[in-house]
Amino acid sequence: STPVAVACGIQHAARLGVVIKGGSYLEILAKIKCLAMDKTGTLTEGHFRVSEVVAVGETEDLQQILYWLASVESRSSHPMAAALVTYASLQDVVPSKSVTDFQIIEGEGVSAVVDGHLIEIGNARLASRLGWSNTAITKLATQTATMGWVGKDHQLLAVFSLEDHVREEAAEAVRSLKRLNVQIHMLTGDNNETAQDVQSKLGGVTVHAGLLPQDKVRIIQELKENAGVTGMIGDGINDAPALAAADVGFAMGLAGSAVAMETSDVFLMTDDLRKLGLVVSLGRRVRTKVI
Ligand code: ADP
Ligand code: MG
């Protein structure tokens, strides 16, 4: 494409609310064969609501369990954390002022010491590593939600579930990308059931669940080898390596982390996934100079 066409294309994208950080990305957009999409906060809104917290065993009552949960989660910036803290506060639970040693357990959850007790909170991967009952989740009403486990001093206390919603424009965005012959892959650290539930609302998306940040990078590399030019869109801090591994990295919205914004090559200023298809076809029009 001519430099003038490229400059026009970038300007056109800006009017659509999409920042393209250089002409070379416009060319890559034209050639994109495959798009990997983060689930939480990208295909979904990333605004969780707690559905249930169910005590396992009779060691502690729910109010006390919510106290441990909220005390740790008040230190976390994960989208699930805010929902759990809100849920606890609605039940008049006030988090502890004595929370130390807060840690993120990569791909699994979080832990901290609360009033001298070790509290661990996380997903099925954490539960199985700690030898916590996986069947505990059958106590929950739905198994397609995002699920969590919480324990104190290595003993399981409760399981919980949270719900998030697929973005209203996500299905339409996926359909138009597929019409442009772009394969769509969903990448998530969440469980397979939740991921399949999201996929059923979108259709035609290949699911990769239960991933660690480094698994996301490996999948991006495989897609590049097998499918060709590959993009990745994500929002979280732990998506930064995957964004960097892709031929073109997208980040979205002012809510996106500063890290994702910096690591991305293309930035959507509004949380509207339909802009993806628009910039891919824009890239193609620039390449064939019909702009
Ligand atoms: P993602 O949120 O994109 O799935 P993360 O690496 O941030 O990936 O987290 C991996 C998993 O660890 C999450 O899916 C969630 O199940 C669990 N997790 C992370 N942070 C928390 C938290 N603060 N409370 C409960 N679970 C958490
Ligand atoms: Mg994430």
Q: Where are the domains of the chain?
A: 3-45+167-287, 49-163
Residues ≥6 apart with Cβ < 8 Å to 131: none
Average model confidence (pLDDT) across the chain? 92
Atom from ligand 1 closest to the CA of residue 76: 23
The identity of residue 185, as a single letter, is H
Residues with CB under 6 A from ligand 1: 40, 73, 76, 78, 80-81, 107-110, 121-123, 148, 188-190, 236, 238
Residue range 3-45+167-287 forms a domain whose CATH class is alpha beta
Segments of 2-57 assigned E as strands: 18-20, 34-38, 49-55
Q: Cβ(31)–Cβ(223) under 8 Å?
A: no
In the chain, the percentage of residues whose pLDDT exceeds 90 is: 77
Q: What is the pLDDT of residues 227-246, one digit of tens each?
A: 999 999 987 667 889 999 99
Atom from ligand 1 closest to the CA of residue 236: 3
Average pLDDT, stretch 182-207?
Answer: 94
Residue range 49-163 forms a domain whose CATH class is alpha beta
Q: Ligand 2: distance of its center to the CA of 213 in Å?
A: 9
Q: Ligand 2: distance of its center to the CA of 39 in Å?
A: 8
Atom from ligand 1 closest to the CA of residue 81: 23
Q: Ligand 2: distance of its center to the CA of 291 in Å?
A: 36
Q: Whose CA is nearest to atom 6 of ligand 1?
A: 107
Q: Cβ(278)–Cβ(268) under 8 Å?
A: no
Q: Which of 51-60, 112-121, 204-213 has the highest mean pLDDT?
A: 112-121
Ligand closest to Cα of 234 equals: 2
Q: Whose CA is nearest to atom 25 of ligand 1?
A: 122
Q: pLDDT category, 141, cuts 50, 70, 90?
A: confident
Q: Ligand 2: distance of its center to the CA of 130 in Å?
A: 22
Ligand closest to Cα of 48 equals: 1
Average pLDDT, stretch 55-60?
Answer: 86
84-122 exposure pattern, b = at least 16 Cβ within 10 A, e = fewer: bbebbeeeebebbeebeebebeebbbbbbbbeeeebbbb
Residues ≥6 apart with Cβ < 8 Å to 40: 46, 79, 146, 164, 188, 189, 190, 236
Judged by DSSP in three states, 232 sits in: strand
Average pLDDT, stretch 61-74?
Answer: 97
Q: pLDDT category, 253, cuts 50, 70, 90?
A: confident
Q: pLDDT category, 252, cuts 50, 70, 90?
A: confident
Atom from ligand 1 closest to the CA of residue 104: 20
Indicate the pairing of strand 109-114 with strand 99-105: antiparallel
- Model pLDDT, residue 147: 93
Best residue among 114, 120, 123, 216 to mutate for probing ligand 1, ranked by most atoms within 8 Å of CB: 123
Q: Ligand 2: distance of its center to the CA of 136 in Å?
A: 25
Residue 1 tokens read as 């494409």
Secondary structure letter of residue 162 according to DSSP: E
pLDDT greater at residue 184 or residue 141: 184
The identity of residue 103, as a single letter, is Q
Judged by DSSP in three states, 198 sits in: helix
Give catalytic residues, as residue numbers: 38
Report if pTM > 0.95: no
Q: Cβ(180)–Cβ(280) under 8 Å?
A: yes
User: 151: closest CA among 128, 171, 170, 173?
Assistant: 128
Residues ≥6 apart with Cβ < 8 Å to 289: 1, 2, 5
Q: Cβ(254)–Cβ(272) under 8 Å?
A: no
Q: Cβ(280)–Cβ(176) under 8 Å?
A: no
Q: Cβ(184)–Cβ(175) under 8 Å?
A: no
Q: pLDDT category, 260, cuts 50, 70, 90?
A: low
